[in-house]
Amino acid sequence: MTIENIIIVGGGYAGVKIAQTLEKKLVGNNNYRIILIDKKSYFYHIVGGPRSAIEHINNIIPYSHTFKDMKKNAVHQSTVVRLEKNKVYLDKPFENSIELPFAYAVLSTGIRYPTPAKTKALEADTALAEQREIQSLVKKANSILIVGGGPTGIEVAGEIREKYADKKITLIHSQKQLLQTGIPDKPRAQILHKVEKNDIRVILDDVVELSNELIEKSVFVPQEPITTHKGQKLGSVDLVMLLFGSRPETEWLKDTLPLSDNGFVKVKKTLAVDKEGFENVYIAGDIADIKEIKMAMKTQGHSVVVATNIFDATKGKKPSKIYKPNTTFLMGISFGKKQGYIFTPLGALGDWATSKLKGKTLFTDRTWQDMNLTEPTTTNTSKNVLSNEKVFSTTSLTIITILTLGVVVLGIYYTTTTTA
């Protein structure tokens, strides 16, 4: 009997969680195998990205132990370039073919963020080299301009300030307040106060004009003085870090699937694609057109729904688990290892709690555990990163659990999924 493929495109927080959940559900079922496809050779723990701007952090994690059974199931490094009914096309062949047929597919290709929040490097060695290069540029610069006052820009500013008390740091943001539209005013004011208290100059409601070439570079040493759109002079700037502009990784789907104006994939309540003929294709994570703040913790709820619906379908049952968007405002912004806020619906937790719950480790150790590995204790060699031995396997308890615990302690219980 031929074994059918369940493919997962995008091995980020959502893809890995769904792959591992489905593997558990399908134990003993030899009709299906799971193939997780990512263009990178490694899992990039994005939450650790801002700290990689100033020092080594183990946020480049091998996929070597993603599945318990790596013989039956597989992780394949390839960029998926096209989706058709019941098959995808790869840029690197799997079992000698660039056409990969599937019985079920999950698409979870995430959002593109600028380096160092994310990295474009396909190989771990290159990603590590890029991180070292940025660390060295930050170390050398006396005056740093960070463009983009969303969570990423703020976190990078906090990391730099904690390590380098004397550097001049300027943060420029296009909106009238830090953070993004949709976040309540109070947290936005609180975070502004924190940033300014740390001797960071904040320029709001203004932008710097940059060529596309510079935008692509994302971190660069400016060759000429920088002036803002409104004419403010920024003085001497030795390093510019562009930390704005995120867009969904869905260009490869635009000819096949229904996308919203800003590129997110339209889904049904079951998280299946909203298009006839693609009922066996599910969407999870940041690329889903769901009205909620895009966060790794939200992918937990998506994963339960998608894995259950695919499992039910393999049993001949109609997929019936539906996803209820999680609109609870819960967001942790670390500002170095010791400061930050966790914003909850009942108010903000301050430096101590944020440091304990997020800032100190940025969940790096737990993410290694989720990948069925142990975080290396010695750092800074790619050999170390790539040859880690499996020590124990654990079910996911990442960001979501820690932050959710905080909310549970405060007496809030929020259900993200219901069954139709």
Ligand X SMILES: Cc1cc2nc3c(=O)[nH]c(=O)nc-3n(C[C@H](O)[C@H](O)[C@H](O)COP(=O)(O)OP(=O)(O)OC[C@H]3O[C@@H](n4cnc5c(N)ncnc54)[C@H](O)[C@@H]3O)c2cc1C
Of positions 14, 60, 192, 371, contacts ligand X by CB under 6 A: 14
Does 15 help bind ligand X (rule: CB under 6 A)?
yes
Q: How far is the CB of 155 from ligand X (least distance, A)?
A: 6
Structure tokens at 95: 């079992």
CB 38 within 8 A of CB 11: yes
Rounded-to-integer distance, Cα 53 and Cα 56, Å: 8
Does 188 help bind ligand X (rule: CB under 6 A)?
no
The footprint of ligand X on this chain (CB under 6 A) covers a number of residues equal to 38
Q: Which range of residues in 10-18, 164-172, 270-278, 310-318 is near ligand X by CB under 6 A?
A: 10-18
Does 406 help bind ligand X (rule: CB under 6 A)?
no
Rounded-to-integer distance, Cα 34 and Cα 51, Å: 33
Buried b (16+ CB within 10 A) or exposed e, 212-250: eeeeeebbbebeeebebeeeeebeebbbbbbbbebebbb
Could you give the dihedral angle defined by the CA atoms of residues 229, 117, 111 and 286, in that order, rounded to the nearest 10 degrees? -120
Q: Which range of residues in 66-74, 151-159, 271-279, 316-324 is near ligand X by CB under 6 A?
A: 151-159
Q: How far is the CB of 129 from ligand X (least distance, A)?
A: 18
Does 106 help bind ligand X (rule: CB under 6 A)?
no
Rounded-to-integer distance, Cα 275 and Cα 252, Å: 16
Which residues does 305 contact at the CB level (< 8 Å), separation at least 6?
270, 271, 321, 322, 323, 417
Does 74 help bind ligand X (rule: CB under 6 A)?
no
Q: How far is the CB of 402 from ligand X (least distance, A)?
A: 9
Q: Which range of residues in 111-119, 195-203, 265-273, 305-313 is near ligand X by CB under 6 A?
A: 111-119
Of positions 20, 144, 154, 155, contacts ligand X by CB under 6 A: 155
Does 105 help bind ligand X (rule: CB under 6 A)?
no
- Which residue sits closest to ligand X, CB atoms considered? 12
- Beta strand 111-112 pairing with 219-220: unpaired
Does 117 help bind ligand X (rule: CB under 6 A)?
yes
Does 113 help bind ligand X (rule: CB under 6 A)?
yes
Other residues' Cβ atoms within 10 Å of the Cβ of residue 392: 9
113/282 with CB nearer ligand X:
113
Does 102 help bind ligand X (rule: CB under 6 A)?
no
Does 296 help bind ligand X (rule: CB under 6 A)?
yes
313/333 with CB nearer ligand X:
333
Of positions 7, 20, 35, 38, contacts ligand X by CB under 6 A: 38
Q: How far is the CB of 233 from ligand X (least distance, A)?
A: 29
Q: How far is the CB of 262 from ligand X (least distance, A)?
A: 15
Q: How far is the CB of 198 from ligand X (least distance, A)?
A: 18
Does 126 help bind ligand X (rule: CB under 6 A)?
no
79/228 with CB nearer ligand X:
79
Of positions 22, 80, 169, 241, contacts ligand X by CB under 6 A: 80
Per-residue contact flags (x/-) with ligand X for residues 244 to 283, judged by CB under 6 A? -----x--x-------------------------------
CB 330 within 8 A of CB 183: no
Does 178 help bind ligand X (rule: CB under 6 A)?
no
Rounded-to-integer distance, Cα 378 and Cα 136, Å: 20
Q: Which of residues 309-348 bind ligand X (CB under 6 A)?
A: 332
Which residues does 50 contact at the CB level (< 8 Å), separation at least 6?
116, 117, 152, 155, 156, 158, 159, 334, 362
**What is the contact surface with ligand X in residues (CB under 6 A)?**
9-15, 37-40, 46-47, 49-50, 79-80, 108-111, 113, 117, 151-152, 155, 249, 252, 285-286, 294-297, 299, 332, 358, 399
